[in-house]
A = this chain, B = another copy of it.
Amino acid sequence: MLTTNPFDDDKLREECGIFGIWGADNAASFVALGLHALQHRGQEAAGIVSFDGHNYHAHRAMGHVAGNFDRDDIMRKLSGKVGIGHVRYSTTGETAMRNVQPLFAELSEGGFAVAHNGNLSNAMTLRAALNRRGSIFQSTSDTEVIIHLVATSSYSTTLDRLTDALGQVEGAYSLLCLTPDGLVACRDPLGIRPLVMGKLGEATIFASESVALDVIGATYLRDIEPGEMVIVNEAGIRSFRPFAPAKPRPCIFEHVYFSRPDSIVDGTSVYEVRKNIGAELAREAPIEADYVVPVPDSGVPAAIGFSQESGIPFELGIIRSHYVGRTFIQPTQEVRHLGVKLKHNANSALIQGKRIVLIDDSIVRGTTSVKIVQMMRDAGAKEVHMRIASPPTRHSCFYGVNTPERSKLIASQMSVEKMARYINADSLAFISIDGLYRALGDKRDGANPQRCDACFTGEYPTTLTDCDADGKPRPLSLVASR
């Protein structure tokens, strides 16, 4: 199999984006547009659940939002003034559909739909206990644990039952729940995954990123705060703080790669942060060269920052095909050995005989850095220097980001010098963790970091019940008895 994403393959992947709206006619239409704007957060499946005051309407599909949620027959079905939606990266194969969110259940008090961005680090343990008590799971999703905890809670109101349920889970969650009592938005006490709130006329909107507000012409109001639960219904908007207070630890990688450059995350422009990172890199690891060349498209803002700080001209040395984003099964053996350049191609006329600084956002496995450096050399580059807009990625994420197992992370196996030789670059440098915080306008508090930077530092902000930091599952019988 050959993909048109040869270089994107070596990225960490956000697992989800969520979007919800309360109080707009044809709510599902806005959800569809909002999800489309969040498509970069999950491309494998999408789903929408709407509520018309009496009935819930759901549609889920493998694939992109466009092509599924732009069909008249489907959108007409999703009637009502309230809706939530979800885009998902991950599970494949036959069991996929039952894991596509929003999940929905008929509870005794009425319907309950949930869209979840994040990952629970004690889901397996809770699931085993629920299963023993007779709860029947329909998916393999950690999110379903939340539903069964709500269903079997001894509290009576929906909010109390949800609070009871969330009190038992650990990990990362930005949640949107559709209930007969209203639309509930909630962010875990550390605020690991983002969630913003906006307004369009009378309608209230929640989304993973502000860009989804832009796309439908809505106004950004504020971030949902870590540990905050907001309910919107006919009585208005109410905010709760049902959990013990904690120092927030929002994910730093949202700035490095996940979020769109035109989003505002934690009150900061993602584009500006990335340009700052590029400038920091130019100061931390300067180099003499003819051109600054971004690995498109994610390396572009940092490359502009690097170019402006260093004075080295910014040039498109790699051209990206517009027709990518999907898998291209390599037809036959005959073409498999070719260095096929379906997604990226060197701009040879430019590169020939020149010294190049390549700017990329991260190195995960390193496999594709090897190819891209080689592509530059094949095009005649005299020198190829690589600068990376994040620190070395050395640890797995357990909070909703798809990371390869630790041993596959090249930076956990090699020194930077060895990596430089491995990818055959004339020089290689990563921004420092402190440099990264500086680009964000912070000074990193080593004892108590202001962000979750566990993928770089291994400092996990929560306990890890289901598995250890290497991702090895803990025996269930032991943990279950805690």
- Proximity bits, A268-294, B CB within 8 Å = 1, else 0: 010110000000000000000000000
Which residues 233-290 of A have a CB within 8 angstroms of B?
Answer: 260-262, 264, 269, 271-272
Looking at the assembled complex, report how far the CB atom of A136 sits from the nearest CB atom of chain B, in whole angstroms.
5
A353 at the interface (CB under 8 A from B): no
A24 at the interface (CB under 8 A from B): yes
A456 at the interface (CB under 8 A from B): no
A348 at the interface (CB under 8 A from B): yes
Bound together, the chains give a CA A163 to CA B304 distance in angstroms of: 53
A479 at the interface (CB under 8 A from B): no
Assess whether A313 is in contact with B308, with CB atoms less than 8 Å apart.
yes
Q: Given the interface contacts A39-B321, A70-B328, does A345 sit within 8 Å of B215 by beta carbon?
A: yes
- Cβ contacts under 8 Å, A72 to chain B: 329, 331
A357 at the interface (CB under 8 A from B): no
A224 at the interface (CB under 8 A from B): no
Assess whether A314 is in contact with B304, with CB atoms less than 8 Å apart.
yes
Looking at the assembled complex, report how far the CB atom of A286 sits from the nearest CB atom of chain B, in whole angstroms.
20
Assess whether B345 is in contact with A214, with CB atoms less than 8 Å apart.
yes
Assess whether A66 is in contact with B335, with CB atoms less than 8 Å apart.
no
A350 at the interface (CB under 8 A from B): yes
Which one, B25, B40, B43, B216, contacts A340 given CB within 8 A? B216
- Proximity bits, A426-452, B CB within 8 Å = 1, else 0: 000000000000000000000000000
A69 at the interface (CB under 8 A from B): yes
Looking at the assembled complex, report how far the CB atom of A269 sits from the nearest CB atom of chain B, in whole angstroms.
3
Which one, B39, B65, B325, B331, contacts A69 given CB within 8 A? B331
Looking at the assembled complex, report how far the CB atom of A173 sits from the nearest CB atom of chain B, in whole angstroms.
20
Binds B, one of A101-109, A115-123, A404-412: A101-109
A217 at the interface (CB under 8 A from B): yes
A30 at the interface (CB under 8 A from B): yes
Assess whether B211 is in contact with A345, with CB atoms less than 8 Å apart.
yes
- Cβ contacts under 8 Å, A64 to chain B: 323
Which one, B26, B33, B106, contacts A131 given CB within 8 A? B106
Looking at the assembled complex, report how far the CB atom of A221 sits from the nearest CB atom of chain B, in whole angstroms.
15
Binds B, one of A145-153, A179-187, A191-199, A465-473: A145-153
Bound together, the chains give a CA A466 to CA B106 distance in angstroms of: 20
Looking at the assembled complex, report how far the CB atom of A49 sits from the nearest CB atom of chain B, in whole angstroms.
13
Bound together, the chains give a CA A304 to CA B316 distance in angstroms of: 9
Assess whether B216 is in contact with A335, with CB atoms less than 8 Å apart.
yes
A132 at the interface (CB under 8 A from B): yes
- Cβ contacts under 8 Å, A334 to chain B: 24-26, 29-30
- Cβ contacts under 8 Å, A40 to chain B: 321-323
Assess whether A338 is in contact with B66, with CB atoms less than 8 Å apart.
no
- Cβ contacts under 8 Å, A321 to chain B: 36-37, 39-40
Which residues 91-113 of A have a CB within 8 angstroms of B?
Answer: 94, 105-108
Which one, B4, B25, B65, B138, contacts A66 given CB within 8 A? B4
Closest 4 CB pairs of A and B: A134-B152, A269-B349, A75-B331, A262-B319
What would 17 A/B residue contacts be, using CB atoms closer than 8 Å? A29-B334, A32-B331, A39-B322, A40-B323, A43-B323, A72-B329, A138-B138, A211-B319, A211-B345, A214-B346, A216-B338, A261-B316, A262-B347, A269-B350, A272-B349, A300-B316, A301-B316
Name A's B-contacting residues (CB within 8 A): 4, 24-26, 28-30, 32-33, 36-37, 39-40, 43, 64-67, 69-72, 75, 77, 94, 105-108, 128, 131-138, 147-148, 151-153, 211, 214-217, 260-262, 264, 269, 271-272, 297, 300-301, 304, 308, 313-316, 319, 321-323, 325-335, 338-342, 345-350
Extra A-B contacts (20), CB below 8 Å, given A134-B151, A217-B340, A322-B325:
A25-B334, A29-B335, A33-B335, A36-B321, A37-B342, A37-B345, A40-B321, A43-B323, A64-B323, A66-B323, A66-B327, A66-B328, A70-B328, A106-B136, A108-B132, A135-B136, A136-B151, A214-B346, A216-B340, A260-B345
